Chain A
Amino acid sequence: MEQILVYFFTYKEAIFVIALSIFLGIEVISNVPSVLHTPLMSGANAISGVIIIGGIILVGHADTTTLSLELILGFFAVIFGTLNVVGGFVVTDRMLEMFKKKKRP
């Protein structure tokens, strides 16, 4: 119990961020027209690629003198993260590009 409280205090800012982000996420998303469900999901998917920051930090401080597991798997983590970010945003843009064309001949 005490440990949980200690943990709460240590990370109080992060916990505040979490609690408020949940409401923010709900607030921002509510009342989305169904026409945007796919692009929204895809765009959100790209944002979850924020894990790339973790990958950069991990590989950034890895020991490069030997070919460690950390370095190899970390390298893949960065590749996967970038794939998620770049692919996600590009594909969302492609979808939204289609929605743009609404003029009738």
Chain B
Amino acid sequence: MEQIIGTINGIDFTLGETILELSYLISALLFVVGLKLLSHPETARRGNFYAGGGMVLAMITTLLLHKDTGGNGISLTNVWIILSAITMGSVMGWIVARRVKMTAMPQLVSLFNASGGAASALVALLEFPNADMNNLGSVLVTILGLIIGSVAFSGSMIAYGKLDGKVKDIFSGIMTYINLLLLVVVVVLSVYIMISGQTPEQLNWVIYLLLGVSLLYGIMFVMPIGGADMPVVISLLNSFTGIAAAMAGFIYNNQAMILGGILVGAAGTILTLLMCKAMNRSLLNVIIGSFGGGGTSAANQEGGDMKEISLSDASILLSYSKSVVIVPGYGLAVAQAQHVCHELEELLSGKGVNVRFAIHPVAGRMPGHMNVLLAEADVPYNQLVEMENINPDMPNTDVVMVIGANDVVNPAALNDPSSPIAGMPIINAHLAKNIIVMKRGRGKGYAGIENELFFGEKTRLLFGNAKDSLQNLVNEIKSL
């Protein structure tokens, strides 16, 4: 491995160095191919495997072949230390990932994202003392790695707490200004570090202050965002972690890290924008959070009464329909009703009813939340229909059953320009011949907006916990 095999610009390079760079190239290619395969249902699992393989390869070759600028390899003592850390991380990661319930998936993804952000922030923090203060570019990437990594870490932890129900949404008008102020402080500190002309030791306090402010910003930034906006934030934080890793890649001039990180950053950004588009809102609007909490209580509708439906009427209506569309929402996830929902769907299919699920892009709390939830209950994914494809069929649908969804079926988005969700594409449940809505109570949806669908002529409500209601419905249909 120490054999010198060539010279470039007067510097010799060894076989080991060449193999290391080659392995990085292969890893980077595996990341790209893996991500590409991940975006098709048939090949997704293989894609995940490829990307994982790329990571393992890069880890092994780095451990064996990496040399510092002085040409020293990683000594045996350090190898053992690293291996023990890797073992601890792997065991923890494996156990958590295997044990956690499928319904806790959004929390888990946030938690792993937070740990990636923490790693990036730590690497940047520890590399800062080695930064060449005369090379502003290298100082900048170190600072950026620190800031973005810490924001991704603390933001994801708050997102984790929210998804787990441990942290409540807090929103007040002042927060926007506090956040703006924190952002200004971050910029000022960064500029100070770059132009003060002091050594890294002298700037030690500034870098720790910057770390603190960035962590605080992450918390404050995610705190007011909640509910239907959660998928956007999770996806955004995900892309932050990627960018932070890429910044660290710049510190080491490591192409595999740069490519991997930027790839994730770009992919995460696209997914974020996709989510925003699904809500017809701009990213800025989501971040500032125009409908966080109180906000517009505008449409205090006259609307009429909500009309209830009895279990037996509902079961007869469903059993004798030709086509039924189920619109699931966060309520389904909260009630953990996906299995009994599948039972109902199979029961109706057995009676010759065409049952499909209509999936709104931002239903739930993370991108694709409903898909994962229903997949866990063994619902075949070809029965899950995306919004654009199901809407044309709505007028011919006998019954639409809305389970724990609200804003994604609110017709105000289409016909009330003053509504906070105006312009958001919705599932056109109101066009179906009959609508059954399962709701816990008479309350408003997350966004605090009244939903005229619930008061419509064709709408009947079934109050109660979604799981209980579905179970009762299944029993009722069986006894028909």
- Asked if chains A and B come from one complex, the reply is yes
In the complex, what residues of A have CB within 8 A of residue B34's CB?
A: 43, 47
Contacts of B358-372 to chain A: CB distance below 8 A: 359, 361, 366-369, 371-372
CB pair A99–B39 under 8 Å, yes or no, is no
CB pair A60–B51 under 8 Å, yes or no, is no
Query: Closest Cβ of chain B: how far from A62's Cβ, in Å?
Result: 7
CB pair B51–A47 under 8 Å, yes or no, is yes
CB pair B266–A29 under 8 Å, yes or no, is yes
Q: Count B interface residues, CB 8 Å.
A: 112
Cα distance A45–B238 in the bound complex, in angstroms:
6
CB pair A33–B41 under 8 Å, yes or no, is yes
In the complex, what residues of A have CB within 8 A of residue B267's CB?
A: 25-26, 28-29, 40, 44
In the complex, what residues of B have CB within 8 A of residue A78's CB?
A: 82, 85-86, 89, 119
Cα distance A26–B111 in the bound complex, in angstroms:
25
Q: Count A interface residues, CB 8 Å.
A: 86
The binding surface of chain A is classed by DSSP as helix
Could you name 7 residue pairs across A and B whose Cβ atoms are closer than 8 Å? A11-B253, A25-B264, A46-B51, A47-B263, A51-B245, A83-B92, A93-B45
Knowing that A36-B368, A44-B267, A50-B260 touch, tell me 9 more A-B residue pairs with CB under 8 angstroms: A11-B137, A40-B38, A40-B368, A50-B257, A54-B127, A60-B66, A74-B122, A83-B92, A86-B93
In the complex, what residues of B have CB within 8 A of residue A95's CB?
A: 102, 105, 372, 375
What number of residue pairs across chains A and B have CB atoms under 8 A from each other?
A: 382
Cα distance A48–B262 in the bound complex, in angstroms:
9
In the complex, what residues of A have CB within 8 A of residue B79's CB?
A: 60
CB pair A11–B82 under 8 Å, yes or no, is no
CB pair A92–B48 under 8 Å, yes or no, is yes
Cα distance A98–B375 in the bound complex, in angstroms:
6
Contacts of B371-392 to chain A: CB distance below 8 A: 371-372, 375-376, 378, 380-382, 384, 386
Given the interface contacts A3-B137, A99-B381, does A38 sit within 8 Å of B367 by beta carbon? yes
CB pair B93–A87 under 8 Å, yes or no, is yes
Query: Closest Cβ of chain A: how far from B14's Cβ, in Å?
Result: 17
CB pair A14–B386 under 8 Å, yes or no, is no
Q: Which of A47, A64, A101 contacts B242 (CB 8 A)?
A: A47
CB pair A82–B264 under 8 Å, yes or no, is no
